[in-house]
Amino acid sequence: MQTKTTISVILKDGSKREIPEGSSGIDLAKSISNSLVKKSVGLVLNDELKDITTILKDSDKVEIITQNDPRSYEFLRHSTAHVLAEAVQNLFKDAKIAIGPVIEDGFYYDFEIPSHTLTPDDLMKIEKEMQRLIDEEQQFIRVNINDTDKQLSDFKTQGEKFKAELLEQYKNESPTLYILEDRSGKPVWNDFCRGPHLTNTKQIKAFKLLSVSGAYWRADETKESLQRIYGTSWWSKEELDTHLQKLEEAEKRDHRKLGRQMDLFSMHDETGPGLILWHPSLAYVRKQMEDYWKDLHEKKGYEIVYSPHIAKTDLWDISGHNEFYRENMFYMTVDEQDYVLKPMNCPFHVLIFKSKRHSYRELPIRMAELGTVYRYERSGVMHGLARVRGFTQDDAHIFCRRDQYVEEIKGVIQLIDIIYKGFGLNYFAELSTKPKDAIGTKEIWDFAEAGLEQALKEYGLDYKINPEDGAFYGPKIDFKLKDAIGRVWQGATVQLDFNLPNRFDLKYTEKDGSQQQPVMIHRAIYGSLERFAALLIEHFAGSFLLWLSYKQVIVMPIADRHLEYSEKIYNLLKENNIKAVFDQRAESINAKIRDAELEKIPYMIIIGDKEIADNVISVRAKKKGNLGTLQTNIFIEQILKEIKEKGI
């Protein structure tokens, strides 16, 4: 069977390599080095992920993916999902399989199991069965489905209605089946799947099932309700442990947990779900956020406005909310008149603009409001401060001329940059363009998208494009924030709106006397103060920067005889507008320190006989420990400087 014919493939570095015709990816790896074979997982073949066993053709572009390559997890996790499905079908005979894709850091598989409702206890049993299948060293074999009709009827006989539906959908796209074979070469399980996969289950070294939950077939709530199992899979036990530690760390930072522990906020049955009570410590964080925001906005030429919480439905009829946003709004009737609790601030700002005539000279007009809005969220989706029914937006609307548009967007980007830096947050930008169902002419969309892009470029900000992901009324830039443990949060949005200026027939008088429609930009930087506070809590793990801390310094006398001197220091701090507290309890100094550390108070001042004798204070920093003694006035100077500079 030896063939003399060779083919030539192009490797990642652009070099060409001669290999015998009929060689697979594994053969290619072997021809390069034996150590490569061991670590090889799959291929990028002509820019597509493919099985390592794929037979190569002349002039293919081939890259061998090893375990060091992040893309190798696609193979691993997808294959682990298959083993999960096989295990579930072994344990629950009437289980039917739906889909099992790879997700960030893991995978899931959806099942319909009429006879059984999965519980967390089942996960251990399933894991055990999975391990048994892995130890059996089953082979993944890819076969083309040549006789679609036969396969369809096979799926139907087996009751695999979801697989049948999928095959029906993909039957013209050279469908493939992955078969798992035991060591004797007997097929033991199969799944209709595009792949790619590993070659053998023994390559699965470290996995864990994480949770069960509900899901719908095809994410459609009118379709079958399925049971979903989430899991994760890694190349080594160490990697898995690191990942599990990361999950644990995230749990420790959970703002709902810290919110209770640190007395930051609460929610009550009596108020209803998704409605937040801000306790003093988090209210101070919010006050600092608001003051910082107002100060910068005034400096940047915004004018602060206020609008009411409710308005007659007439307003929402004009704005279109009553028609398009209906299911998110709270309605009430007073004096036989229907009112709406505002879900957005924009119609009010539009009315302010419309309340008088504007000259082109007045533009841009920048209107800003910390406006509290209410949106009906479905009962199952509320999440601490991050997803609520009542929240305050840091909203602003810019009305400008077309020739001012790009500059205005640049101004917004700059403001976002300044504000996020004040919290020490990193971010990145995404530009979303015209969706399929959009209002407005192509001309105006082109103008708007080009303007957003130009502003990003001129500002020098890197961005990714999300095609067709804009709002129906205009394109947008989203800013995503990255927290201390690498999670991404939705941050600022900048949107262009063609809808409201039209609906409200907004105009200004141009130089030539003509009436023109202004360009309207919506933007929010914190997004919602509630969600941004949640981000800050989790980012700092409750250990806020000094300028955000409700308690900045705690004064702690060692014994009662130090109370008088301590009180003088405490008063001096207060006189200097430092948020100081005084621990007068008859506790040991160790207990006081422990409590202050747990409360995450940035600075502790310890006063005993020595400090009084030398007329100094002992300073201890949260987590850092004893900083030694200082003159009180020097400490005050330093701390005021740190507050002013926001400690970045």
Partner RNA sequence: GCCGAUAUAGCUCAGUGGUAGAGCAACGGUUUUGUAAACCGUAGGUCGUCAGUUCGAAUCUGACUAUCGGCUCCA
The catalytic residue positions are 346, 375, 393, 395, 397, 476, 522
DSSP 56: P
Closest CA to 80 of 53, 54, 52, 109: 109
CB of 500 to RNA, least distance (A): 27
Question: Which span sits near RNA by CB under 7 A: 102-110, 428-436, 484-492, 494-502?
Answer: 102-110
- Which residue is associated with the tokens 């410590």? 281
CB of 600 to RNA, least distance (A): 9
CA atoms of 474 and 520, how far apart (whole Å): 10
- As a residue count, the chain comes to 648
CB of 83 to RNA, least distance (A): 15
Residues 240 and 207 sit within 8 Å (Cβ to Cβ): yes
Question: Which span sits near RNA by CB under 7 A: 122-130, 255-263, 413-421, 432-440?
Answer: 255-263
Residues 404 and 517 sit within 8 Å (Cβ to Cβ): no
Q: Is 179 in the site for RNA (CB under 7 A)?
A: no
- Which residue is associated with the tokens 């810019």? 398
- The stretches of 513-588 forming alpha helices (DSSP H) are 529-539, 563-575
Residues 343 and 305 sit within 8 Å (Cβ to Cβ): no
Our CB check for RNA shows the closer of 302 and 489 to be: 489
Which residues have C-beta within 8 Å of that of residue 359, sequence separation ≥ 6? 508, 509
Q: Is 236 in the site for RNA (CB under 7 A)?
A: no
Q: Is 194 in the site for RNA (CB under 7 A)?
A: yes
CA atoms of 113 and 115, how far apart (whole Å): 6
**Residues 110-129 within binding reach of RNA (CB under 7 A):** 117, 119
Number of residues that bind RNA (CB under 7 A): 72
Question: Which span sits near RNA by CB under 7 A: 373-381, 433-441, 487-495, 523-531?
Answer: 373-381
Identified binder of RNA from the candidate list 37, 170, 509, 574, rule CB under 7 A: 170
**Residues 600-619 within binding reach of RNA (CB under 7 A):** 604, 606, 608-611, 618
Our CB check for RNA shows the closer of 402 and 622 to be: 622
Identified binder of RNA from the candidate list 384, 411, 491, 518, rule CB under 7 A: 384
CB of 565 to RNA, least distance (A): 11
Amino acid identity at 57: K
Question: Which span sits near RNA by CB under 7 A: 423-431, 494-502, 515-523, 584-592?
Answer: 584-592
Our CB check for RNA shows the closer of 451 and 470 to be: 470
Is the torsion defined by CA of 310, 314, 315, 320 positive or negative?
positive
DSSP 422: H
Our CB check for RNA shows the closer of 48 and 645 to be: 48
Our CB check for RNA shows the closer of 272 and 301 to be: 272
- Which residue is associated with the tokens 């294959």? 79
Q: Is 631 in the site for RNA (CB under 7 A)?
A: no
The β-bridge partners of 605 are 555, 619
- Per-residue tokens: 9: 């493939």
Q: Is 99 in the site for RNA (CB under 7 A)?
A: yes
Identified binder of RNA from the candidate list 55, 465, 559, 640, rule CB under 7 A: 559
Question: Which span sits near RNA by CB under 7 A: 13-21, 97-105, 450-458, 466-474?
Answer: 97-105
- Per-residue tokens: 175: 């469908």
Query: How many Å is the Cα radius of gyration of the chain?
Result: 31
**CA distances (Å), 28 to each of 44, 199, 416, 527, in order?**
13, 16, 50, 52
CB of 167 to RNA, least distance (A): 7
